[in-house]
Amino acid sequence: MTNLIPIFIGYDYRERAATNVLIDSLYQNSNYPLSIIPLVTNQLRKNGIYYRSKDPKQSTDFSFTRFLVPYLMNFDGWAIFMDCDMLCQDDIAELWNQRDEKYSVMCVKHIHEPKNKTKFLGEPQTSYPKKNWSSLMLINCSKCKNLTVEYVNSASGLDLHRFNWLDNDNEIGEIKGTWNYLVQDPKKSNSNASLIHWTLGGPWFKEQRDYEDILTDKWFNAREESMRLYDDD
């Protein structure tokens, strides 16, 4: 099916609720058929695709598995990768339609310098150039052939996340709009963003739960809707 949009989602067992709500929000807002594939690390390990050791600076299970997407796509066509700690509020086709063949990968080019040394559950917060660029990517898989299984399992985290596997930064296109909107202060955020990203930790974590901000309300409303039982009364 040519109109099928392949979407890979970074999966961490501590964020199962976030993953499920994100998937439902993608379906509910899409006018196109979607193929959604969570990148479950244990599955990739059992199939010999992912075998690198956990990095001390790695905060989630999917910190590096995202770079296997071109391989999983047989280095053919385009795919979307996104972190699981997001909520989609617009049709993902609006993002999909921004694909541009002159680029190898496209992302939101944040200038993000985190103020805290830790984030959710006390996980380390690492600061580096191109921070959070790889949390949402439109990937032109045929142009990402350097991302072999061997390379993804051996390259440094910084080489992967800073796109050092490309020849130069001219291969990185920019995604327009409010896709991958980073939540810094939930009470001063754009609640209408196309794709909200709780990069510091979302309301599925007790420590990040604030019932007085609109983004928490939005996420819990989406969660309730995704689990609503059918009632024809």
Q: What is the DSSP string of 40-82?
A: -HHHHHHTTS--PPPPTT--STTTTGGGGHHHHTTT-SEEEEE
The pTM (predicted TM-score) of the whole model is 0.90
**Per-residue model confidence as pLDDT tens digits over 165-176:** 999 999 999 999
Q: Specify the pLDDT at position 121.
A: 54
**How many domains does the chain divide into?**
1
User: What average pLDDT does the segment 197-221 reach?
Assistant: 86
Q: Which two tokens stand for residue 48?
A: 């010999």
Q: Specify the pLDDT at position 1.
A: 43
Give the structural domain span for 222.
5-226
Integer angstrom CA distances of residue 204 from 52, 209, 210, 211, 216: 28, 7, 10, 12, 9
In a domain, 233, yes or no: no
In a domain, 32, yes or no: yes
State the Cα–Cα distance between residues 2 and 4, nearest whole angstrom: 6
In a domain, 184, yes or no: yes
3-state SS class at 102: coil
Q: Are 112 and 182 contacting, i.e. CB atoms less than 8 angstroms apart?
A: yes
Average per-residue pLDDT in the chain? Answer: 90
What percent of the chain lies above the pLDDT cut of 70? 88
**Per-residue model confidence as pLDDT tens digits over 3-21:** 799 999 999 999 999 999 9
The CATH number of whichever domain residue 211 belongs to comes to: 3.90.550.10
pLDDT higher at 187 or 222: 222
In a domain, 93, yes or no: yes
For the ranges 95-99, 141-145, 184-188, 225-229, the lowest mean pLDDT is seen at 184-188
Model confidence at 131, pLDDT cuts 50, 70, 90, reads confident
- pLDDT at position 233 over 60: no
Q: Which two tokens stand for residue 31?
A: 């006018």
**Per-residue model confidence as pLDDT tens digits over 25-59:** 999 999 999 999 999 999 999 999 999 998 777 77
Q: Are 179 and 95 contacting, i.e. CB atoms less than 8 angstroms apart?
A: yes
In a domain, 231, yes or no: no
User: What average pLDDT does the segment 148-168 reach?
Assistant: 95
Q: Are 4 and 59 contacting, i.e. CB atoms less than 8 angstroms apart?
A: no
The 10 Å Cβ neighbour count of residue 225 is 12
The HSE-up count of residue 39 (CA atoms within 13 Å, CB side) is: 26
Residue written as tokens 């955020």?
189
In a domain, 232, yes or no: no
